Structure formats: C-alpha cells, structure tokens
Amino acid sequence: MRIGYRGLVCMLAVWLLAGVGCMEAQAQQKNANWDVGLGLGLSGFTGDLNFAPLPQTISGHVQGLIRYNLSPMYALRADLQLGGLNAIYYPGRYYLPGGPVGNKRYFHTPMLAVDAGVDIHFLPFVINSLTGGKVNPNAMTPYVTAGLGGMVVFNNGGGFYIPMGGGVKFALFDRFTLAGELRFLKGFFDTADRYKNWPKPTKGHHLHNQDWVSMLTVSLTYRFVVEGHVCPAYQTK
C-alpha cells in the first residue's frame, strides 16, 4: 500500500486549509478551542536493517500541530512531521538473509508524514487563561493518542500508518500548553530501508515485519481565545 507524492501534497493542502477555515469559523462563534503550535524531537526506525524494539540510531524531526479541543477530556488533532530516518545493520546482532540490498549496511533518508487523530486525557485539562485568574486545578494531565496518517519516505516509497502513543500536557502561562509525547508510527509498508519482508523477502505481506517509526517530541501550542462567550465545556466556577 503506497501513497504518492501528489496524494500527500493534497493531504497537506487539505490539512492546512481545514485548520485555517475552522479557526476562522470558530472565531466567528467566539469560542476558545483551537491550539496551534510547533514541536521538536528525536526519531528512531525499526525495520529489517534494525530488527530490534529500540532504535540503534536516531535522527531529528520538526512537527506542526493543530488541535481542536472538544472538551477538557478529549481533543482532535492534525500533525505534520518532517524529519529523517536512519538505521544501521550489525551482522553480529542477527542474521539478515541475503544481506542488505546492495551491501549497504546503513541508510538515511528524509521523510514527510501527515496524520489526524484524537487525544484522550486521563484528567480534565484547562488552559490558565480560562480560569478567570484563579489557581488552575486542571493544569496537567497524562493522555493517550491514536489516529491514521500517510508518509512519504523519499526515494524509498512510503504508505499509510497508524500513529499511537501518549504523553503529558502542562498548562503554562496564559494560553500556552507544553507537551512531552512518545508516539509509534506503525507503517503499512516495508520499503523504508530498501529491504522487504524479512525473513522471506519473496513472499507475502507480513504485518509484523513492516516498518515502525518512533518519535519523542516536545511541543508548545498557543490557544486562540477570542473575546466573547467561552465554550460551555471550558467554563469554570
């Protein structure tokens, strides 16, 4: 299963236009539900050239994030990630039938990923500007997240993936939210490292052998609060 460059560009355009359009509509309704921000982090790869749960090498990524807060317990989100993937094959750790393609023991390539999903909070979460100047009892929460996305691994294909993971959100001063997050992107493709379907490269489509990307990210978002009526779900006593 693959997604072409044109398809991912269309997805990106829809992601951006939807975010801008929804922010404008929400502003007209005088609500306070939209977070927009950026993140930075480390990326790891698990696949045929790194057949281990933990990545042996790391790369970096930047993240664009739009989040729509349905209530203090739930939020919808859209993510854009741009970064790199790399891995190295150590023959002493495990046997790779036939060896790496072209005898290349190391690969590094850029990737672009877009996904949409949901955050589920374990505790109610409210930003500080919605508490009326009072001490915020809902300024921190752990959460889990999951969704669906598409990735382009440049020169090495790509396809759809399921992002899943969790993290912790903190309400900073005024309208800012700081979040630390660990996500795993479960790919429905096995071509990122140019080696396919170990241990049987010529047979079938093995879900357990497909590529994984791990992402550890710290993000900072800003809440667009428009003067007027606050969403009832966020009103505090």
pLDDT in tens, 89-104: 766 666 666 655 555 6
Residue 24's pLDDT is what? 46
Torsion, CA 200, CA 203, CA 208, CA 211, rounded to 10: 90
Whether the Cβ atoms of residue 159 and residue 150 lie closer than 8 Å to each other: yes
Q: What percent of the chain clears pLDDT 70, i.e. is strictly above it?
A: 65
pLDDT at 6 over 60: no
Query: d(Cα 180, Cα 146) in Å, to the nearest integer?
Result: 15
Q: Is the pLDDT of residue 111 over 80?
A: yes
Average of per-residue pLDDT across 129-147: 89
pLDDT attached to residue 164: 95
What pTM does this model have? Answer: 0.76
Mean pLDDT for the chain? 78
| Residue 74 confidence class, pLDDT cut points 50, 70, 90 | very high
- Residue 52 confidence (pLDDT): 67
CA dihedral angle for residue 170, residue 176, residue 179, residue 184, rounded to 10 degrees: 140
**If residue 16 lies in a helix (H) or strand (E), which one and from where to where?**
helix 5-28
pLDDT band, residue 235 (cuts 50/70/90): low
pLDDT of residue 179: 97
pLDDT for 153-184, tens place per residue?
A: 887 777 889 999 999 999 998 899 999 999 99
N residues, the chain: 237
Query: Quick one: average pLDDT of 71-100?
Result: 81
